[in-house]
Amino acid sequence: MSSLGSHAYDHIADTSGWPSSAALAYRLAIQQGATPAQAKDFAAVQFGESGFDPNARNKSSGAAGLYQLLSPGYVTRANALGGVFNPRANIMAILPDYMAYYRSHPTLVPGAAGAAVERSGMGAQYYAQGYQHLPGVPGAGPSPAAPGTLATPGVPGTLPTVIPGATIPGIPGVRTLNTAALSRRILGSFAQSGNINIMNLPQWTNAAYQTTPGIPARTIPGTTLPGTPGIPGTPVETPAPATDFSKTWLSPGFAVKGLPFEGTHGKAFNIRGGSDNWQSENAIDIYMPKGTPIYAPVSGTLGNTGPLGGGRFAGIRTNLYGDGQGFYFAHMSKLAPGIKAGAKVKKGQLIGYSGEANGVNHLHFAVENGDPRSYYGGT
């Protein structure tokens, strides 16, 4: 791939099948000297940041617009150009940083620029998801050949880009002494007998220890993104079919730790905590990396949706009702655009991304009737 500035592009590829905001980002990047592949990479970032919605706003952080501008420098630049919700102004406020990244990284890795510039903690694979929504231009598959040129040797296109898999190391469980519980045991003994039998201290101390469960290591498989086609006659890698989310609402393989009506899902525990309901008790905890996409398991209507609080109630929650069943998702880090109480969603529609609570990355998932494990699997 040629580096930025080495040549100009006097032809803009057909982006008629794209969201209008992505097509605008592609054209503006080309005008600033990006290659077609780099311009497409820049446009694809919008899916991960805003779902191509120029009016998107993160209620928690205040980040706004197509590229979720947040820092004062970006916001000031966008406001000077027309406002953060103006698509062109939002794009031009952050495009210089992407151009600088592409100049210093002439070998394109899909999504890597988004991971570096946005600094959201999400990796290249997350931002490369936007490619599946941008068909018909370099990097998305073959274009129709002109009559009479099929036998003309092609100029090789770029090879498919392989993003290697990675293993996320596990986190061991932590055994800590609950000093408050030990103190209550000692004071209770003193209140009953008027003295403290020091022979009981080892037993009391051992009983006051508690263990926070560890998180097992997880291997994320690698993926291959299609190459850029050359002139007709050059073989092009056929893109893999998109994942069919009509059959699954969450990628399989994550460990299920918290079980229905046990531990923090137990009835007595939740009565003490003031959350005695099916959302808290008929639930499982599914351990997964923060930012894992969550999709609607059925078509239905969203109920109570919004921030939970902190500690064991950290993150964002939403309720979904459909197919005669209630579903509850908690500790999410971010909601998808348009996800709010009263909204109608389709089966397989993105509703948000997983988060954490009490320092543990996981999704709390509950159903009103039956066993929540029957909707996901695992024991």
Among 113, 105, 97, smallest CA distance to 45 is for: 113
Task: With cut-offs at 50, 70 and 90, classify the pLDDT of residue 236.
Answer: very low
Spatial distance between the Cα atoms of 250 and 245, rounded to a whole number of angstroms = 8
Q: Which tokens hold the place of 369?
A: 């009737």
pLDDT, tens digit, 9 for 90 and up, residues 199-231? 777 787 777 777 777 777 777 676 666 665 544
**What is the sign of the dihedral through the CA atoms of 183, 184, 190 and 195?**
negative
What global pTM score does this model have? 0.39
CA dist., res. 127 & res. 116, Å (int): 10
Min mean pLDDT across 39-48, 167-176, 292-301 is at: 167-176
Distance set, CA 365 to CA 75, 221, 263 (Å)? 36, 25, 15
pLDDT for residue 340: 94
* Higher-scoring residue by pLDDT: 161, 328: 328
Partners of residue 157 on adjacent β-strands = none
Q: How many helices (H) and strands (E) does the chain have?
A: 11, 15
What are the boundaries of each domain within the chain?
A: 20-164+219-225, 174-212, 255-376
* pLDDT at residue 140, as a whole number: 36
Nearest to 342 by CA among 306, 291, 307: 306
Which residue spans within 310-346 are E strands per DSSP? 315-322, 325-335, 344-345
pLDDT of residue 97: 95
* Least trusted range by pLDDT, from 57-61, 178-182, 232-236: 232-236
Q: Is residue 171 classed as helix, strand or coil in its secondary structure? A: strand
Residue 172 pLDDT class (50, 70, 90 cuts): confident
Task: Report, in this order, helix, strand and coil percent for the chain, each rounded to 5.
Answer: 30, 20, 45
Provide the percentage of residues in the chain whose pLDDT is more than 70. 79
Predicted pLDDT at 271: 85
What pLDDT shows up at residue 165? 65
Taking only the tens place, the pLDDT of each residue in 254-288 is 888 889 998 888 888 888 877 889 999 999 999 98
pLDDT of residue 178: 76
Question: 20-164+219-225: which CATH topology?
Answer: Lysozyme (1.10.530)
| Lowest pLDDT segment from 14-23, 232-241, 269-278, 341-350 | 232-241
Note the pLDDT of residue 58: 84
pLDDT tens across 111-149, in order?
A: 999 999 998 888 888 898 889 888 865 543 333 333 333
Is there a contact between 332 and 363 (Cβ–Cβ < 8 Å)? yes
Q: Is 261 left (phi over 0), alpha (psi -120 to 50) or beta?
A: left
Token code pair at residue 16: 């008629």
Rounded CA gap, 27 and 232, in Å? 24
* Phi/psi-derived region of residue 324, left when phi > 0, alpha when psi is between -120 and 50, beta in every other case: left
> Looking at residues 327-345, what average pLDDT do you find?
94
**Confidence category of residue 69, pLDDT binned at 50, 70, 90:** very high
Specify the CATH superfamily of domain 255-376.
Glucose Permease (Domain IIA) (2.70.70.10)
Domain 20-164+219-225 and domain 255-376, same fold? Reply is: no
Q: Is the pLDDT of residue 335 over 90?
A: yes
For 344-379, the three-class secondary structure string (H helix, E strand, C coil) is EECCCCEEEEEEEECCEEEEEEEECCCCCHHHHCCC
- Mean pLDDT on 87-113: 94
Q: Give per-residue pLDDT as tens, 145-164.
A: 333 333 334 444 555 565 66
Cβ 253 vs Cβ 221: under 8 Å: no
